[in-house]
Chain A
Amino acid sequence: MATVEIRDVRKSYGPVDAIKGIDIAIRDGEFLVLLGPSGCGKSTLLRMVAGLEGITGGEIAIGGRVVNTLEPKDRDIAMVFQNYALYPHMTVFDNMAYGLKIRGIPKAEIRARVDKAAEILELGRFLDRRPSQLSGGQRQRVAMGRAIVREPAAFLFDEPLSNLDAKLRTQMRVEIKRLQDRLRITSLYVTHDQVEAMTLADRILVMNHGVAEQIGTPLEVYQRPASLFVAGFIGSPPMNVLDGRIDDRGEAVLVPGGQRLPLPQPRPTDAGRPVKLGIRPEHMAVAAEGFSIEIELVEALGADTVVYGRLPDGETLLVRMAGIPTVRERDRMTVAPQADALHLFDAVSGRRME
């Protein structure tokens, strides 16, 4: 049990700055998800915590102890790799027992811990097998088991589910959630999958180009995205973003095509300011007045329907409606956002306007 503190941590590969100063204090037992597109620096940050990558600047502390110069083995962490990284020449039992043997834990206790982990992960029948004799999902469990038996101060996961097919991924996601509720070990979990992030995280750190765009609970990140980047990355289908301008009295947003969307609260100080207006597709509904769109594509997903519409000025507008489709392609329809569902972002910086 431990906290993990990351203080202004930086990483450069030669002239390339992969991590540009990240600050986050992970609480004891908290499950923090690092979410971001491929190449944004998630693995680099995780590997710095693990000690597999040197730290260019800043400080990392695990359980209150600064670990910058400590070897991975002295950091009391366990890691689950994307490709599982099992020891191919060892049985499942030996894979899980390896770290315990090295730490000089008595044989009987190793047996007990491995058996317990095997029971939790339903690996009991496979303890004598080699990794090559297991399915992808089973290997994934062994990798989890190897981390669990160590009872470390913190778990590190680097996209542990991304090599599994969709169905298994969902299953394992639920299983990780259950494990976490049971073990409550401080965890850093890297993924580019927003569903994993939303379902597993206590808090999400949304990363882009080596900086933290936002840190918050899944709902905060969804309801109050701190930037256009976060708004576009979280939510599926992604948020609609339109160019707009706050009217001269600061009471509404004007969008091209002449629409005037009243603001929930007036913003007199922002009167006349150009903005980016974000509206989630699920916050649009058919209305008497609003955006008039020509329907280009209708995606029926079963439980709901996504409509791709075109605005008069050529912009695409997505609308998500509950249930099966009631409209057809090439129909026209009028939709309007819910009044309290407008997100305003600075037109230049892309930051949220509070």
Chain B
Amino acid sequence: MTFDSRLLPYLLLAPQVAVTLVFFIWPAAQAVWQSVHLQDAFGIRSEFVWFENFEHVLTDPNYLDTLKVTVVFSVAVTVLSMGTALLLAVLADSKIKGARAYKTLLIWPYALAPAVAAVLWMFIFNPDIGSFGRALRALGYDWDYRLNGGQALWMVIMAASWKQVAYNFIFFLAGLQAIPRSVMEAASIDGAGPVRRFLTITFPLLSPTTFFLLVVDMVYAFFETFGTIHALTQGGPGKATETLIFRVYHDGVVNNDLGGSSAQSVILMVIVIALTAVQFRFIERKVHYA
């Protein structure tokens, strides 16, 4: 059996293209369409309103608060998950006993659904039933993330970072293992101690990996942490843990403001595209693809 060789590449690409069309391009186009329309309460008629939805969104002080929460949340999640993953990867890369079991354990969280992970966190941090939560209260610390916005934000940052550590870890470990051992040995003979070796050799050689993960983690923090926040705090208390993506859901699905929600989605998309573009343009130049 033979294939027409000109057709085959298209055939092989087709499923991927179809998935992209159905699950990304089509909803994205819909979001753009919705963002410039106003729907009546019954969802029957809609009216073209130019950029009115955007105007509403961007002049809403609540929205700017959400933006602030999102920036804090995303930067914290990115820094925390990358920092932790790098530390763990460095430890795993050095010759330690039981390194294999350790690596497997570290990779597990990635296989966990966000909601399941969130439930686990609840079992730990719930002030009434969570082990750590109860311990904190027993020590006299007034721990209740359901009332304290700062504590709630701290907890969702922890939970979201924890899940991403596994992903970052795999990439950092692969990056570390791609650095020839002899290069590190040459540095130690040249007189560099462990800290200097890390700062002047390891870290620069990891920069392609770091850069890649920076983009991936920012996008993760912006978009993929919805499940975690939804399961843990529903954006509360108040709006203390409401990120942009959570607000899109809340305004669109709960408050049924499709136009406003779509405008927010479009803004979010633009932010992420811009972030990625900026990272590629300005950081890539300083990155050494060894």
Q: Are the CB atoms of B290 and A88 closer together than 8 Å?
A: yes
Given known contacts A87-B183, A87-B201, A89-B204, A73 and B190 CB-to-CB distance under 8 angstroms: yes
Interface string of A153-192 (1 = CB under 8 A from B): 0000000000000000000000000000000000000000
Q: How many A-B residue pairs have CB under 8 A?
A: 64
A163 CB to closest chain B CB, in angstroms? 12
| Chain A residues positioned under 8 Å from B190 (CB to CB) | 73, 78, 98-99, 102, 146, 150
Is A37 located at the chain interface by the 8 A CB criterion?
no
Bound Cα distance from A320 to B183, whole angstroms: 45
Is B196 located at the chain interface by the 8 A CB criterion?
yes
Is A86 located at the chain interface by the 8 A CB criterion?
yes
| Chain A residues positioned under 8 Å from B182 (CB to CB) | 81-83, 85
Q: Are the CB atoms of B185 and A81 closer together than 8 Å?
A: yes
Interface string of B42-57 (1 = CB under 8 A from A): 0000000000000000
Given known contacts A89-B204, A89-B205, A99 and B191 CB-to-CB distance under 8 angstroms: yes
Q: Are the CB atoms of B205 and A88 closer together than 8 Å?
A: yes
Q: Are the CB atoms of B189 and A87 closer together than 8 Å?
A: no
Closest to A99 in B: B190
| Chain A residues positioned under 8 Å from B188 (CB to CB) | 52, 71-73
Q: Are the CB atoms of A102 and B192 closer together than 8 Å?
A: yes
Is B288 located at the chain interface by the 8 A CB criterion?
yes
Is A132 located at the chain interface by the 8 A CB criterion?
yes
| Chain A residues positioned under 8 Å from B204 (CB to CB) | 89
Is B187 located at the chain interface by the 8 A CB criterion?
yes
Bound Cα distance from A81 to B190, whole angstroms: 13
| Chain B residues positioned under 8 Å from A78 (CB to CB) | 189-190
Is B9 located at the chain interface by the 8 A CB criterion?
no
| Chain B residues positioned under 8 Å from A125 (CB to CB) | none
Q: Are the CB atoms of B183 and A79 closer together than 8 Å?
A: no
Is B12 located at the chain interface by the 8 A CB criterion?
no
Given known contacts A79-B186, A85-B183, A88-B183, A73 and B191 CB-to-CB distance under 8 angstroms: yes
Is A50 located at the chain interface by the 8 A CB criterion?
yes
Is B193 located at the chain interface by the 8 A CB criterion?
yes
Bound Cα distance from A218 to B290, whole angstroms: 41
Closest to B183 in A: A85
Closest to B205 in A: A89
Q: Are the CB atoms of A79 and B189 closer together than 8 Å?
A: yes
Q: Does more than half of chain B's interface fall in helix, strand or loop, or is it mixed?
A: helix
Q: Are the CB atoms of A102 and B189 closer together than 8 Å?
A: no
Closest to B207 in A: A89
Closest to B189 in A: A72
Q: Are the CB atoms of B205 and A72 closer together than 8 Å?
A: no
Bound Cα distance from A73 to B183, whole angstroms: 14
A259 CB to closest chain B CB, in angstroms? 52
Bound Cα distance from A98 to B188, whole angstroms: 11
Is B180 located at the chain interface by the 8 A CB criterion?
yes
Interface size on B, residues (CB 8 A): 19
Interface string of A36-69 (1 = CB under 8 A from B): 0000000000000011100000000000000000
Interface size on A, residues (CB 8 A): 24
Closest to B193 in A: A73
Q: Which of A51, A82, A98, A103 meets B187, CB within 8 Å?
A: A98
A84-126 interface (Cβ within 8 A of B): 85-89, 98-99, 102-103
Bound Cα distance from A52 to B181, whole angstroms: 11
Q: Are the CB atoms of B189 and A77 closer together than 8 Å?
A: yes
Scoring B185, B191, B201, B204 by chain A CB atoms within 10 A of each residue's CB, the highest score goes to B191
Interface string of B164-193 (1 = CB under 8 A from A): 000000000000000010110111111111
Q: Are the CB atoms of B290 and A103 closer together than 8 Å?
A: no
Bound Cα distance from A52 to B191, whole angstroms: 13
Q: Are the CB atoms of B290 and A89 closer together than 8 Å?
A: yes
Scoring A82, A83, A88 by chain B CB atoms within 10 A of each residue's CB, the highest score goes to A88
| Chain A residues positioned under 8 Å from B201 (CB to CB) | 87
B209 CB to closest chain A CB, in angstroms? 13
| Chain B residues positioned under 8 Å from A132 (CB to CB) | 290
Q: Which of B189, B200, B205, B290 meets A73, CB within 8 Å?
A: B189
Q: Are the CB atoms of B189 and A50 closer together than 8 Å?
A: yes
Closest to B288 in A: A89
Q: Are the CB atoms of A85 and B288 closer together than 8 Å?
A: no
Given known contacts A102-B196, A132-B290, A85 and B185 CB-to-CB distance under 8 angstroms: yes
Bound Cα distance from A83 to B184, whole angstroms: 13
A43 CB to closest chain B CB, in angstroms? 11
| Chain A residues positioned under 8 Å from B196 (CB to CB) | 102
B251 CB to closest chain A CB, in angstroms? 47
Interface string of B106-130 (1 = CB under 8 A from A): 0000000000000000000000000
Bound Cα distance from A78 to B187, whole angstroms: 10
Bound Cα distance from A71 to B182, whole angstroms: 16
Bound Cα distance from A50 to B191, whole angstroms: 12
Bound Cα distance from A131 to B51, whole angstroms: 54
Closest to A98 in B: B190
Q: Are the CB atoms of B187 and A52 closer together than 8 Å?
A: no
Interface string of B263-290 (1 = CB under 8 A from A): 0000000000000000000000000101
26 contacts across the A-B interface (CB closer than 8 A): A52-B188, A71-B188, A72-B185, A72-B188, A72-B189, A73-B188, A73-B190, A73-B191, A73-B192, A73-B193, A77-B189, A78-B189, A81-B182, A81-B185, A81-B186, A83-B182, A85-B183, A87-B187, A87-B201, A88-B288, A88-B290, A89-B205, A98-B190, A99-B189, A102-B196, A146-B190
Give B residues with C-beta under 8 Å from A. Answer: 180, 182-183, 185-193, 196, 200-201, 204-205, 288, 290
8 smallest CB-CB distances across A and B, nearest first, come from: A99-B190, A88-B290, A85-B182, A89-B288, A85-B186, A102-B191, A73-B191, A72-B189
Give A residues with C-beta under 8 Å from B. Answer: 50-52, 71-73, 77-79, 81-83, 85-89, 98-99, 102-103, 132, 146, 150
Extra contacts besides A73-B188, A102-B190 (7): CB < 8 Å: A50-B189, A78-B190, A79-B185, A79-B186, A79-B189, A86-B183, A89-B205
